[in-house]
A and B are shown apart, each in its own frame.
Chain A
Amino acid sequence: MTGAGSLVVAVAKNPILPETKEIFWFLIAFIILFVVMWKKALPGVKKTMNERSEKIRGNLEEAEQVRNEAQDVLKQYKRQLADAREESNRIIEEARETAENLRRDMLQRAETQVAELRERSREEIKAAQERATSELQSRVGTMAIELAEKVVEQSLNRDANLRLIERYIEQVGSRS
């Protein structure tokens, strides 16, 4: 009987065979853990994780959008810069043309004025010359008459005549 009893005990204590009471407590612990994990703990952790993923995704999308906007603005600025450069070139070119025209005009006007001035002074010189000549002629005439008179009055000697004539010529020479 004792042998049979110890055999039964030995079979019951086979480590490969699970104990019912331990299975019972394991099932309780595991099922409670599963239910709490499924309904409460995991959703809480997952919610935080999903919120973070959403936030990161949102931030990435926002960053992408901001980048695109910045690129658009850059493109716009570049275009504006190019336009401005073109405009400034046009303005400079225009100014250059205006200046060239102005220079040409002024030069032409100055040349005309110079020519007019030259013409006028030539005419004035000519007039003065003519006036002087005619005055000289009239004075020579007058003096010739005066001289003739004096010659007639003092026609005594040849030396006196010669002196008169020389004096006259000297007078005329000093006047002209």
Chain B
Amino acid sequence: MAMLGALSFPPIEELLEWKDMFGIPGFNKVSLLCVLSSLIVIVFFLMAGRRRELVPRGVQNIAESTVEFVENSIIMQTMGPQGLYWLPFLLTMFTFLLVANLFELVPVIQFPATARMAIPFPLAMFVFVLFIAMGVKRQGVGGYLKATLVPPGVPKGLYVLVVPIELFSTFLMRPFSLAVRLFANMLAGHLLLVTFALLSAALFTKSIMIVLLPLPVAMLVAVTVFELLVAVLQAFIFTILAAVYIGEAMNPQH
């Protein structure tokens, strides 16, 4: 009971209501993290672009590997060579999300900006608007709706069933699931880290309960490694799904 007394979670409001910073109205920690993510990526890529070494090292190597990763593992796998047009957008999305996610593990910051709906939601809406716009541009309104709502090979009798399902899954579920997947994963990871960190702190006492301390500490280390994986993976998943949606609208046969 003494341990439970020492264990005091911060009030949930702290996760939902963020204080303004630097005296700028509306500029809170999440806003700061967004700006920081953007700045870090800009500085990183500008530095990489300035180096012109034949054998890339350091910053240049990481930047080039990232570009190649987005090109080969995301765009070429989902959209084909014509999708390379989308490289600036998808690279921006991937790098921004990656840095914003990794803030979860940076000491002092220890919060992923993407655990706030203000980032996944507008990004998902961008993707939503873009894939509809690409579909309409390539196939026309009727052609795009037909290709999306009526999968080839479906008997006409089943249209009554299939069309609403496709309408729901493409135009409602896609943006929603895209945003919520990222948001929920990052928020859950953050809560896990907070939980084990607080448990470890509470057990770090002079009482006999200290014998239990290794358990939450081990979990904290394990979850930290796991969250590193999740941070990279979620940035990748969000970007590759955006590429899949846009690519599908461009080439319905794929």
Residues of chain A having any CB pair with chain B under 8 Å: 13, 15-19, 21-30, 32-34, 36-38, 40-49, 51-52, 55
Which residue of the partner chain, among B13, B26, B53, contacts A24 with CB atoms under 8 Å? B26
| Contact A37-B122, Cβ < 8 Å, known A21-B28, A25-B26 | no
Judge whether A15 and B26 touch: CB under 8 Å.
no
Minimal beta-carbon separation of A112 from chain B (angstroms): 87
Given contacts A13-B16, A16-B180, A18-B117, contact A27 B122 (CB under 8 A): yes
Nearest CB of A to B204, in Å:
30
* Measured CA separation A98–B179 after assembly (Å): 101
- Least Cβ–Cβ distance between A15 and chain B, in angstroms: 6
Per-residue contact bits, chain B 25-53, to A (CB 8 Å; 1 contact, 0 not)? 11110110011011001100110111111
Bound Cα distance from A16 to B46, whole angstroms: 35
Select which of B15, B48, B122, B123 is within 8 A of A45 by beta carbon.
B48
CB-based nearest B residue for A39:
B88
- Whether A29 lies near B38 (C-beta < 8 A) is yes
- Tell me if B67 counts as interface (CB < 8 A to partner A): yes
Q: Say yes or no: A45 contacts B45, CB within 8 Å.
A: yes
> Is the beta-carbon distance between A22 and B118 smaller than 8 angstroms?
yes
The 9 closest A-B pairs by CB, nearest first: A44-B49, A22-B118, A25-B31, A21-B26, A41-B45, A29-B38, A38-B88, A18-B117, A33-B38
**Interface hub of A13, A15, A38 (most chain B Cβ within 10 A):** A15
A19-B118 in contact given A25-B26, A25-B34, A26-B34 (Cβ < 8 Å): yes
B118-137 vs A, Cβ < 8 Å mask (1 yes, 0 no): 11011100000000000000
B31 near A26: Cβ-Cβ < 8 Å: yes
Q: Which residues of the partner chain B approach A52 to less than 8 Å between Cβ atoms? A: 54
Not counting A21-B26, A25-B30, A26-B113, a sample of 10 additional A-B residue pairs whose C-beta atoms are within 8 angstroms of each other reads: A21-B28, A26-B30, A26-B118, A34-B92, A38-B89, A41-B45, A45-B63, A48-B56, A48-B60, A55-B54
Q: How far is the CB of B225 from chain A (nearest CB, A)?
A: 26
A-B contact pairs, 30 of them (CB 8 A): A15-B187, A18-B116, A19-B118, A21-B25, A21-B26, A21-B28, A21-B31, A22-B28, A22-B31, A22-B116, A25-B35, A26-B31, A29-B35, A29-B38, A29-B96, A30-B92, A30-B96, A30-B122, A33-B42, A34-B89, A36-B46, A37-B41, A37-B92, A37-B95, A38-B89, A44-B48, A44-B50, A47-B49, A48-B53, A49-B67
Contact of A33 with B92 at beta-carbon distance under 8 Å, contacts A13-B13, A22-B116, A41-B46 already known: yes
